[in-house]
């Protein structure tokens, strides 16, 4: 990129797009960010639970390995809240409720150990820098996780536990993702033990006051460079420039935005809906690419009452809707917030319910999990499957054949079009850390050139 008059349009004001935009603006580019929603943040979204408490409706947790995210939090004057949980875990397996000091469900330990050994072997096979080049990549990418479970897991305890585990880790339906995608996701995030851990792991902290604050802080640095309510329809490369066509989500008016370059920083299923002229040499998503199967539920109480009963608020259930819950109460204990996760196959059927039906199902399940508690003062449901401008959460799910078809071109520029978004990051794919790294990669491709940016990434990784 040369000169301060270089114009760049960034499509999407999630964490990746905002990161790219700030980097580019700092380098002197004339940046415009187009966002279809009437807010910034994308899959980082604050849900007001009271006049003073905001819960994380989307991305929330981070750990010590998320170095770019931690640095950005510090730079923007934000703090961390510990997720440390004191008290017993609750398990509701086959309608039988138990509590224990352990976070390991009361299932056959040998069977669970064998399951994790098999998963670790798969993870070790994956080439982190190029999953599509892994040994047996084509075979693993053509095999669904559900089929792998049917062929590899014989013990009923392992089969019962696996959907709960993969739902919590990836918000995935085993029938919709490839084994290669599962193994890559677990490796990209730091490995099974790191991803699954609170203390010392990927879920050690939350951003105090809500993760949405980080995107709002980045947006303040960009000011009027951000245009909300602009849904991008087409990206047309003409000569030595780009013409970005958008439609107002308020009044339907069409607009054109001229630029020298474009950074597309939205999920693959949304990027696939944009008309590119000339057309893309490879798709951003295929019919096999799925939505992240996550619905997030928040139950509010006057205080973390469960702690008075010796419970941590953390639970796992074999049947939905709430496959897991966690204590996300604010650090000042001004309220008690239980966050519930409806994930995997259960999310699709739950998403199809009406809002009153969703609330009824959640409250009935909460009574089974925590019969000691009164009714919550508020129940909030954030349905990412039904979200028009995310199409799922935590991240897109790569189905059979997707890595072999999509992987090699995930980050390859299409002329003057560059790509960002957590799904384009081979490090911490699906996480906030991956979003930041992808945004910086895309910006650095324009600032320094693709080759220099690639060399910089390799040096950082080493």
CB contact at 8 A, 190 and 202: yes
> How far is Cα 368 from Cα 426, in angstroms, rounded to an integer?
40
* CA–CA–CA angle 450, 454, 458 (5° rounding): 175
What are 35-52's pLDDT values in tens digits? Answer: 999 999 999 999 999 989
pTM score, two decimals? Answer: 0.94
What are 151-174's pLDDT values in tens digits? Answer: 999 999 999 999 999 998 999 999
Work out the pLDDT band at 212, boundaries 50, 70, 90: very high
> How far is Cα 132 from Cα 137, in angstroms, rounded to an integer?
6
Q: At residue 104, does pLDDT exceed 90?
A: no
Which pair of tokens denotes residue 458? 């390799």
Q: In the prediction, which pLDDT does 461 show?
A: 46
Q: In the prediction, which pLDDT does 186 show?
A: 97
Q: In the prediction, which pLDDT does 85 show?
A: 87
Q: At residue 450, does pLDDT exceed 70?
A: no
Q: What is the mean pLDDT of residues 223-237?
A: 97
Residue 387 Ramachandran class (φ > 0 left, ψ -120 to 50 alpha, else beta)? beta
Signed CA dihedral, 401, 405, 407, 410: sign only: negative
Q: Which of 190-194, 372-376, 452-456 has the lowest mean pLDDT?
A: 452-456
Delineate the domains of the chain, giving CATH numbers in brackets: 7-42+212-287+400-461 (3.50.50.60), 109-194 (1.10.405.10)
Work out the pLDDT band at 455, boundaries 50, 70, 90: low
For 306, which DSSP code? G
What are 48-82's pLDDT values in tens digits? Answer: 999 899 999 999 999 999 999 999 999 999 999 99
What are 395-426's pLDDT values in tens digits? Answer: 999 999 999 999 999 999 999 999 999 999 99
What are 106-156's pLDDT values in tens digits? Answer: 999 999 999 999 999 999 999 999 999 999 999 999 999 999 999 999 999
Q: At residue 236, does pLDDT exceed 50?
A: yes
Work out the pLDDT band at 460, boundaries 50, 70, 90: very low
CA-nearest of 56, 25, 22, 61 to 42 is 56
Q: In the prediction, which pLDDT does 109 show?
A: 93
Q: In the prediction, which pLDDT does 292 show?
A: 95
* Secondary structure E strands in 260-377: 261-264, 275-277, 294-301, 311-317, 324-327, 336-343
Helix (H) or strand (E) holding 228: strand 226-228
Q: In the prediction, which pLDDT does 1 show?
A: 60
Strand-pairing partners, residue 232, are 246
Q: In the prediction, which pLDDT does 51 show?
A: 87
Q: At residue 379, does pLDDT exceed 80?
A: yes
Q: In the prediction, which pLDDT does 103 show?
A: 87
Q: In the prediction, which pLDDT does 20 show?
A: 98
The whole-chain average pLDDT of the chain stands at 94
Which pair of tokens denotes residue 379? 């129940």
């Amino acid at each position: 990129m040369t000169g301060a008059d270089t114009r760049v349009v960034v499509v999407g004001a999630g964490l990746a797009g905002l990161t790219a935009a700030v980097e580019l603006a700092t380098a002197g580019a004339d940046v415009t960010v187009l966002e279809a929603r009437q807010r910034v943040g994308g899959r980082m979204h604050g849900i007001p639970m009271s006049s003073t408490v905001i819960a994380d409706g989307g991305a929330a947790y981070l750990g010590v390995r998320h170095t770019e995210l931690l640095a950005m939090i510090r730079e923007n004057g934000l703090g961390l809240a510990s997720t440390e949980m004191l008290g017993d875990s609750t398990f509701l397996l086959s309608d039988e409720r138990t509590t224990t000091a352990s976070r390991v469900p009361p299932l056959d330990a040998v069977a669970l150990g064998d399951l994790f050994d098999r998963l670790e072997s798969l993870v070790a096979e994956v080439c982190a820098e190029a999953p599509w080049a892994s040994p047996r990549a084509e075979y693993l990418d053509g095999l669904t996780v559900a089929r792998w479970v049917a062929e590899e897991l014989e013990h009923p305890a392992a089969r019962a536990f696996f959907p709960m585990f993969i739902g919590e880790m990836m918000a995935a339906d085993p029938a919709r993702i490839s084994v290669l995608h599962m193994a890559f996701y677990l490796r990209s995030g730091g490995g099974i033990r790191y991803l699954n851990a609170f203390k010392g792991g990927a879920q050690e902290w939350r951003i105090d006051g809500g993760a949405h604050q980080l995107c709002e802080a980045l947006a303040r640095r960009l000011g009027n460079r951000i245009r909300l309510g602009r849904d991008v329809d087409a990206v047309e490369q003409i000569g030595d420039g780009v013409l970005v066509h958008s439609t107002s989500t308020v009044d339907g008016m069409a607009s054109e935005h001229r630029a020298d370059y474009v950074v597309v920083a939205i999920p693959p299923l949304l990027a696939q809906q944009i008309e590119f002229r000339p057309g893309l040499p490879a798709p951003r998503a295929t019919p096999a690419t799925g939505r992240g199967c996550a619905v997030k539920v928040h139950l509010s109480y006057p205080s973390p009452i469960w702690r008075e009963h010796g419970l941590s608020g953390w639970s796992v259930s074999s049947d939905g809707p709430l496959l897991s819950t966690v204590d996300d109460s604010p650090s000042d204990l001004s309220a008690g917030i239980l966050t519930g996760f409806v994930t995997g196959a259960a999310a699709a059927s739950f998403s199809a319910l009406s809002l009153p039906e969703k609330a009824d199902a959640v409250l009935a399940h909460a009574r089974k999990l925590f019969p000691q508690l009164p009714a919550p003062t508020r129940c909030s449901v954030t349905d990412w499957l039904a979200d028009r401008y995310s199409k799922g959460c935590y991240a897109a799910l790569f189905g059979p054949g997707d890595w072999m078809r999509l992987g090699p071109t995930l980050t390859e520029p299409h002329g003057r079009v560059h790509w960002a978004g957590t799904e384009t990051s081979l490090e911490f794919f699906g996480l906030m850390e991956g979003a930041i790294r992808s945004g910086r990669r895309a910006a650095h491709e324009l600032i320094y050139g693709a080759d220099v940016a690639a060399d910089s990434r390799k040096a950082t990784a080493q």
